[in-house]
């Protein structure tokens, strides 16, 4: 499997914001072919969550996944409907289990049955990227991969890797506009997860072989207006934590920016969760619309144990109860569907292909002090 990171950013005329951090009002540049381009462009993300393919009919033939309370009541009802009707509802079930000092299935998933966990089925078209340079099939997954079937893009390009969605596609809390989407948007609004995008050294928005693309975490919250709407053209300081500074050489060909880097990592902070978004072999595809907003996708391979720790173990029994799955079932499904980075001893894959969607508004991105960044790299 050839590992690579590939970023693409289609620049349209509405990409006018100068992200130099000078505090002066930006002026829309003339982006006609051959015109002088702005040296810098900046954005702050206002959406960052899991991207989904259009759900085909029958994608969940055995239904949505059940949380631990509902699964227990369902299994109990087969033999004793009267007893099943007495199972405490919702959070009361978890509280009663804790009071009885039962094993925690999120903290100790290996002590429980991994099944059932319903996988999404019937997908042939999905958003994403060919992360491994291979059009994988179960019989021929490609080098350094595990058996899986790739998808195609809506335009028909083969080889799309997005196996995480087969795991999440039948979890009700992950449906578009559902609990996870609301949670992600809430974290952005609360200033818990500010992500900046900056493009520097631009001489020509159509063709430029030497530019720099950066994606940073930031500690600065996004300001809101009197109506609660997120405000554009605000200034943000890029983090000086080297772990969350993704800076890479890039180039522009026919208005599309491409760049490569082996790893991508940003900070993840959301209410009681404290983790990171670490993607290997990341790829981005972004476009600036007529409204000046940046929209697109980022994909990469995510270590399944780290995903589980964030979205199951840290989320806790109460969190996954709300989303609609069982922790042991989620971990088992992640291990079955993992499609990259095989363990050298067991041969089991340790990472799963993942795709996020993102959207950004124009912003001034202020670089961290070079001396401080240099200190962190020593």
- CB count within 10 Å of CB 96 equals 13
What are the sequence ranges of the domains in the chain?
Answer: 6-377
| Maximum CA extent, the chain | 77
Nearest to 353 by CA among 13, 50, 37: 50
Query: Rounded to whole angstroms, how far apart are CA atoms 279 and 345?
Result: 23
Find where tokens 């994403």 sit: 128
Nearest to 40 by CA among 288, 195, 214, 206: 214
The reported pLDDT for the residue numbered 273 is 78
> Strand, helix or coil at 176?
coil
The reported pLDDT for the residue numbered 33 is 52
Alpha helices by DSSP H, listed for the chain, are: 68-77, 81-84, 90-99, 164-168, 179-189, 304-308, 316-323, 327-337, 370-377
Query: Rounded to whole angstroms, how far apart are CA atoms 187 and 43?
Result: 17
Query: Rounded to whole angstroms, how far apart are CA atoms 35 and 288?
Result: 18
pTM here? 0.86
Averages of pLDDT over runs of 10 residues in the chain (378 residues) are 42 38 39 59 94 85 94 92 92 94 96 94 89 90 90 91 95 93 90 91 85 92 90 95 90 77 86 84 84 88 96 94 97 97 96 95 85 49
Query: Rounded to whole angstroms, how far apart are CA atoms 267 and 46?
Result: 15
The reported pLDDT for the residue numbered 371 is 53
Q: Which residues pair with 342 in a beta bridge?
A: 349
Q: Are strands 234-237 and 294-303 parallel, antiparallel or unpaired?
A: unpaired
Query: Rounded to whole angstroms, how far apart are CA atoms 135 and 137?
Result: 7
């Amino acid at each position: 499997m050839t590992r690579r990171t590939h970023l693409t950013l289609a620049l349209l005329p509405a990409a006018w914001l100068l992200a130099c951090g000078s505090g002066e009002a930006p002026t829309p540049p003339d982006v006609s072919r051959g015109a002088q381009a702005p040296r810098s462009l900046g954005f702050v993300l206002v959406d960052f969550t899991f991207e989904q393919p259009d759900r085909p009919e029958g994608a969940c033939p055995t239904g949505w996944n059940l949380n631990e309370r509902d699964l227990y009541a369902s299994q109990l009802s087969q033999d004793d409907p009267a007893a099943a009707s007495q199972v405490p509802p919702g959070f009361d079930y978890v509280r009663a289990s804790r009071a009885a000092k039962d094993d925690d299935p999120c903290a100790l998933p290996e002590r429980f049955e991994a099944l059932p966990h319903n996988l999404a089925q019937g997908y042939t078209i999905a958003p994403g990227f060919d992360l491994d340079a291979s059009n994988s099939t179960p019989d021929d997954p490609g080098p350094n991969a595990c058996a899986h079937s790739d998808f195609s893009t809506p335009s028909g390009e083969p080889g799309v890797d997005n196996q995480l969605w087969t795991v999440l596609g039948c979890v009700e809390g992950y449906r578009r506009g559902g609990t996870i989407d609301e949670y992600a948007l809430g974290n952005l609004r609360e200033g818990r997860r500010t992500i900046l995008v900056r493009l520097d050294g631009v001489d020509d928005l159509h063709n430029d072989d030497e530019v720099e693309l950066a994606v940073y975490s930031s500690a600065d919250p996004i300001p809101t207006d009197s109506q609660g709407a997120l405000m554009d053209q605000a200034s943000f300081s890029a983090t000086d934590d080297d772990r969350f500074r993704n800076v890479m050489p890039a180039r522009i060909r026919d208005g599309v920016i491409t760049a490569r880097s082996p790893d991508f990592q940003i900070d993840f902070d959301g209410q009681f969760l404290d983790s990171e978004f670490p993607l290997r072999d990341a790829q981005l595809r972004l476009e600036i619309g007529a409204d000046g907003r940046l929209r697109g996708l980022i994909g990469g391979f995510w270590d399944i144990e780290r995903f589980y720790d964030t979205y199951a173990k840290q989320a806790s029994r109460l969190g996954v109860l709300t989303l609609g799955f069982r922790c042991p079932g989620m971990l088992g499904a992640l291990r079955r569907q993992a499609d990259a980075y095989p363990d050298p001893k067991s041969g089991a894959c340790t990472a799963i292909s993942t795709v996020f969607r993102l959207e950004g508004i124009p912003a001034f991105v202020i670089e961290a002090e070079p001396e401080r960044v240099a200190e962190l790299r020593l």
